[in-house]
Amino acid sequence: MDDSSYCLSQLTILGIKYHPTLILYISTIQLIPNQTTVRFYYLCAMNTFQDLGLDARLLKGVEALGFTTPTPIQLQAIPALLEGNRDLVGLAQTGTGKTAAFGLPLLHLIDIQKNYPQALVLAPTRELCVQIYNDLLNFSKEMKGFDAVPVYGGASIMDQIRKIKKGVHVVVATPGRLIDLINRKALDLGKVKILVLDEADEMLNMGFKEDIDFILENTPAERNTWLFSATMPREVREIAKNYMTDPFEITTESRQKGNENIEHCYAVVRAKDRYAALKRFVDANVEIFGIVFCRTKLETQDVAEHLMRDGYNADSFMEI
């Protein structure tokens, strides 16, 4: 009989009332080959990061960031991944804390004494790539000697190669730039033991299917693969089927749901009155923190300059 695992939403199958801080572990021990199987069920309450079994240095990093209570995806993923030597499929929307869900156990399993890439994290965009890289650095501030590198298009590839040659433990990459480094033989993935595919569905939507196949084929077959996705279309299922071994699947209650605490307001105005209308919205919500999306880079800069000139704390961010 195969090993089995249940996610939180499946607790009711066993007659146990669902509770967000309960984790169920099911282990299998085969006493006689192909004949006898004994299962042990462990049910424990986990309310803090200290309960999850993380390295004390990571706990200090998490505490410094002000995190106290793990999110549902973190509660399910972290204990499972800390066991090591298992593949995982995590279904969770953006904003559910999945970077920590895979980032903390990844850092826990890294051997700082071995100064070569031991983990690879793939992300669909350079913005997410940089965000994951920064999160890993924040989590690992107490891990002396740890280093990582973000590799993505639009930045100097020579600077990235120099950083890799100095020695890093984790590479966070977008598919295109990573393949460029592999083809240049500037990056050796032969000792990677953990491969993370973050926002796998988004990568496939962006046309990275062949790139993902190439990358997976250029990493060790005995690696652990952790796949995170908001949805599970056929293409993502195929990746799990072709490149993962009996993956443990977890999901969160917020899957496929939008945020329920968002109020939508709009106003129909002439183009020349849009800025005045924007200020009305801002003035009506004095504690607002917001993002204003504009059509062009020029318009983005223009709106930001007007807001700053009118005394608002604003800035512009544009893709280069």
pLDDT tens for 184-229 read 999 999 999 999 999 999 999 999 999 999 999 999 999 999 999 9
In Å, what is the CA distance from 210 to each residue of 8, 163, 206, 221, 306? Answer: 34, 27, 11, 18, 45
Q: Over the stretch 86-131, which tens digit does the pLDDT of each residue have?
A: 899 999 887 888 999 999 999 999 999 999 999 999 999 999 999 9
3-state secondary structure of 38: strand
Q: Over the stretch 282-316, which tens digit does the pLDDT of each residue have?
A: 888 877 788 888 888 888 889 999 998 988 888 88
- Residue 219 and residue 120 in contact, taking contact as beta carbons nearer than 8 Å: yes
Closest CA to 143 of 59, 81, 77: 59
pLDDT at residue 320 is higher than 70: no
Task: State the Cα–Cα distance between residues 12 and 28, nearest whole angstrom.
Answer: 20
- Residue type for position 295: R
pLDDT at residue 142 is higher than 50: yes
In 99-139, which ranges are E strands?
119-122
Task: State the Cα–Cα distance between residues 102 and 82, nearest whole angstrom.
Answer: 10
Confidence class of residue 9 from pLDDT cuts 50, 70 and 90?
very low
What pLDDT sits at residue 318? 67
Quickly tell me which residue has 């120099």 as its tokens.
162
What pLDDT sits at residue 172? 98
In Å, what is the CA distance from 178 to each residue of 50, 157, 172, 190, 197? Answer: 35, 10, 9, 14, 13
Under DSSP, the state recorded for 10 is G
What pLDDT sits at residue 3? 41
What pLDDT sits at residue 224? 96
**How many percent of the chain have pLDDT more than 90?**
53
pLDDT at residue 232 is higher than 90: no
Q: Over the stretch 62-87, which tens digit does the pLDDT of each residue have?
A: 999 988 889 889 999 999 999 888 89
- The answer to whether domain 52-251 has CATH 3.40.50.300 is yes
Contacts of 297 (CB under 8 A, 6+ apart): 318, 319
Domain boundaries, the chain: 1-45, 52-251, 264-320
pLDDT at residue 35 is higher than 50: no
Contacts of 35 (CB under 8 A, 6+ apart): none
Phi, psi of 251 (to 5 degrees): -145, 165
**How many percent of the chain have pLDDT more than 70?**
82
What pLDDT sits at residue 47? 76
Lowest mean pLDDT among 181-185, 221-225, 257-261: 257-261
What is the average pLDDT value for the chain, to the nearest integer? 83
Name the pTM for this structure: 0.69
What pLDDT sits at residue 39? 39
Task: State the Cα–Cα distance between residues 219 and 11, nearest whole angstrom.
Answer: 35
- Residue 39 and residue 26 in contact, taking contact as beta carbons nearer than 8 Å: yes
- Residue 53 and residue 79 in contact, taking contact as beta carbons nearer than 8 Å: yes
- Residue 79 and residue 25 in contact, taking contact as beta carbons nearer than 8 Å: yes
Closest CA to 171 of 222, 230, 127, 106: 106
Task: State the Cα–Cα distance between residues 182 and 70, nearest whole angstrom.
Answer: 36
In Å, what is the CA distance from 145 to each residue of 114, 142, 167? Answer: 10, 9, 10
**Is beta strand 22-32 parallel, antiparallel or unpaired with respect to 36-45?**
antiparallel
What pLDDT sits at residue 30? 37
